[in-house]
Chain A
Amino acid sequence: MKTIYKRPESFTDAVTSYCGGCGHGIVNKLMAELLDEMGLREKTILVWPIGCSVYADKYFKADAICALHGRAPALATGIKRSLPDRFVLVYQGDGDMVSEGMSEIMHAAVRGENFSVVFINNAIYGMTGGQMAPTTLWGQTTSTSPYGREKSSSGYPVNMAEIMAQMPGVCYSERVTVNSPQRIAATKKALKKAFSYQFEEKGLSFVEVLSPCPTGWSQKPVKALEWLEQKMIPIFPLGVFKDMKEGEGK
């Protein structure tokens, strides 16, 4: 019998603690597959954030550290400067990166740190019980915007992939999502590209993944995929915003 599908070698046997219908598990699996396929596992150092992926170090058979809230890019700077030939992968959510750690991610980009960053944008704080994030949409109800996010008091959703594309130290910035099999395949392609750029020492490579959060959004998983399509993508358009190698950029 021929094996046509198996659990990635880079995964441990642990079962994830992600909710049903959450995008984190999908992205984690793509990362594990790529570590396998690209032969990176033994030279990888994963830097995890505070958020729903806080226990993700348990899922991977790779060296890992869980950073303080928002500080992952600074921690990764210390790691990568010490070991420039290792593969350093930073993983952050919207609360972690765009709120608490906006300074750290921006300055990692300013310095053009040569590591890869995966940014999970689900427009809400998932782990802590569904509070408003900087990426929360106008009108979206969360526990700290119980009547919907208002422009007058909470300002505007933040488009990280576009912002990062503006930074000279960033070599690659793309926004993808995981709400269909085709888009999951495209996400894997984007991640692969971002990872490979690290070995060409081009600077910071950035992939933003729009990710469903049925629990945080109080929706059924299938409904959440639709909501992502109809509500999030118009505000956070998919696409490559910068690719120094291909000469792309919008």
Chain B
Amino acid sequence: MGEKVFMQGNAAMAESAIRADCKFFFGYPITPSSEVPEYYARAAKERPEENIVFVQGETEVAVFNMIAGTAATGKRVMTATSGPGFSLGQEAMSFMSAAGLPAVVVEVMRSGPADGEILAAQGDYFQAVKGGGHGDYRVLVLAPYSIQEMCELMQECFDLAEKYRNPVILLTDSLLAKMREAVELPGRKTSRVDQRDWTLTGCAGREHHVLTTCGDGAAQWEAFNLNLQEKYAKIKANEVRWQSYQVEDADIVLVAYGSMARVAEGAMKMAREEGLKVGLIRPISLWPFPEKAFQGLAGKKFLVTELSAGQMVEDVKLSVDRKEDVRFFGRLGGVVPSPKDILAEIRKLEVK
């Protein structure tokens, strides 16, 4: 730590991944994530001593399977994409979670649906958190709200992926990706979970290893599934993360993640200056969702703000005592509200 640089989110994130010993990147360019493959492509040529491998795949369908392949050999590997590309990768997300492949995926959200816009949005919450793939699987999802946190979580994603042998998603958006901020780039991270008891490297000197997700009858397949559920239960028990700001005395608690949490924090400060008792809960792990953050807050009103038509708000309603206490404010299409806009929504709640 120590070296402070003014860097764009995507680039700072890519550098942090390299420093976390992720030397393999497979990607398909898509705005607003393209600076990540671009960074890796340059690094692969300009830093030969680091043995970085960059491959531009033909589709995200292929790319997500490529990262599965490299993960199967025990090397750290990632891709970065945005909504439409992430949709194409869903089949492989399900596969990697089932096969126990620890790849890391960065999803830089832009506004959909369909081709959509390249501006910031959070409409891929469902796709990332609930999973757009098939079957009963879960994926850890982390959502940073500053470039500093993005760099730190980027590195942690690899540790978590290896710890649980499961893919991990770093969920960001157009705003965080394109923004520049001063960031202390995290240092080199080389300590790893030993993966040698399952990876595919050729079976010299050991029994051969097989990775398969093909069922062999209902009983066998139910047992396989129950094993997976045990893995997800462990993640759920251990990896819940959130930050609460001034919720104790608050009448109204804002709930926001990612770049919207930055804006909401600004709104909270403005509200406090006006004497309004406003707090903020910022989920950092979106799956597992920080249900615990909402315990002991009965009687308070919650204002969930998202750059979507209302996705995380469903998880908030499942976490509070009375779902009637939950209100929602969202903007769509790439419009990002300002702290002042959210303050206006807070005032509406106060009046009632």
Contact = CB atoms under 8 A, between A and B. Distances in A.
A48 B70 CA distance: 16
Query: Which secondary structure characterizes the binding site on chain B?
Result: mixed
Contacts of B65: 67-68, 71, 74-75, 77-78, 104
B70 A74 contact: no
Contacts of A231: none
Interface residues of B, number: 39
Given A78-B72, A82-B70, A103 B59 contact: yes
Contacts of A107: 57-58, 62
Contacts of B211: 64-66
Point out which of B58, B65, B75, B205 has the most chain A C-beta atoms below 10 A from its C-beta.
B65
Contacts of A74: 57, 61-63, 65-66, 69
Given A62-B203, A77-B55, A77-B66, A82 B24 contact: yes
Nearest to A47: B69
Interface string A91-135: 000000000000110110011000000000000000000000000
Interface residues of A, number: 39
Nearest to B211: A65
Given A54-B214, A81-B55, A61 B66 contact: no
Nearest to B74: A82
A82 B104 CA distance: 16
Contact of B200 (A42, A50, A79): A79
B92 interface: yes
A75 B62 CA distance: 8
29 contacts: A41-B203, A45-B201, A54-B214, A57-B210, A57-B212, A63-B200, A63-B202, A64-B208, A64-B212, A65-B210, A66-B213, A68-B95, A71-B65, A74-B61, A74-B69, A78-B70, A78-B77, A79-B200, A82-B75, A83-B73, A86-B201, A86-B202, A103-B58, A103-B59, A103-B61, A104-B65, A107-B57, A107-B58, A111-B55
